[in-house]
Amino acid sequence: MESRDDNYYDVRAQDVKLEDITSSAHNAEILRGLRDGETAWAAKCLDIGKEFNDDYEDDDEEEEEQKGFVVREGDDCGWLGYFIGRNKHVEHLSIQRMSEEQIRVLMKGVKDNRSIQFVRISNKVRGDVIIDSLAPFIRHNVNLKELCVWSVDLGLDGAHSLAGGTQETRRKNYD
């Protein structure tokens, strides 16, 4: 998975063919809604992950629609993060079952978002990956109200760093 700088996305955002950077028409519609800032669609609560349950079937559009953005081969997490980062309407973000590299690339763009109030991460990855990926987002998003992290091996140092980052953000809220 290639990590690109913000300028790459800024230059191409309005002209990119969303179908070329996603694995399904449903994922392309989610990206379109994020890019175009639509407010009447389901992305105010956005679930992102490799799969959402063991019974998931790729050809069941209704199931996919209810479950959110399903990350598969061919999905560009950089574009997804970029569009989330610039969207002003996403309030809830749930991330699950993604690789460490996918999380890094996704959060590089998400860090610019200021509308997200609730984040839920359930991933079996190293805690330092989560801390490093979340830190810029936590520091800059003063609207974050709740952060749930589970199935992550944070360790004592990681938990301390995460708590320190959330404290820094809360101080910004009151300054």
Q: Tell me the pLDDT tens digit for each residue of 94-107.
A: 998 888 889 999 99
29-69 tens-digit pLDDT: 999 999 988 876 555 888 898 876 544 344 444 444 445 89
Vertex 159, ends 157 and 160: CA angle to 5°?
A: 65
- Residue 117: pLDDT above 80? yes
- Confidence band, pLDDT 50/70/90 cuts, at residue 84: very high
For the ranges 66-75, 102-111, 166-175, the lowest mean pLDDT is seen at 166-175
Residues in the chain: 175
Q: What does the alpha-carbon distance between residue 60 and residue 43 come to, in Å, rounded to a whole number?
A: 19
- Predicted TM-score (pTM) of this structure: 0.81
- Residue 151: left if φ>0, alpha if ψ -120 to 50, beta else—which one? left
Give CA–CA dist 123/110, Å, rounded. 17
Q: Give me the pLDDT at residue 6, please.
A: 73
Over range 113-135, report the average pLDDT: 84
Provide the pLDDT for residue 122: 85
Tell me the pLDDT of the chain averaged across its residues.
Answer: 80
Rg (CA), the chain: 16
d(CA 152, CA 103): 13
Tell me, what's the pLDDT at 59? 46
Closest CA to 95 of 48, 155, 128: 48
CA 67 to chain centre: 14
Task: For residue 150, give Cα distances in angstroms to 28, 96, 104, 124, 173.
Answer: 29, 10, 17, 8, 26
Output b/e per residue, 119-129; b: 16+ Cβ within 10 A: bebebebebeb
Q: What pLDDT shows up at residue 4?
A: 82
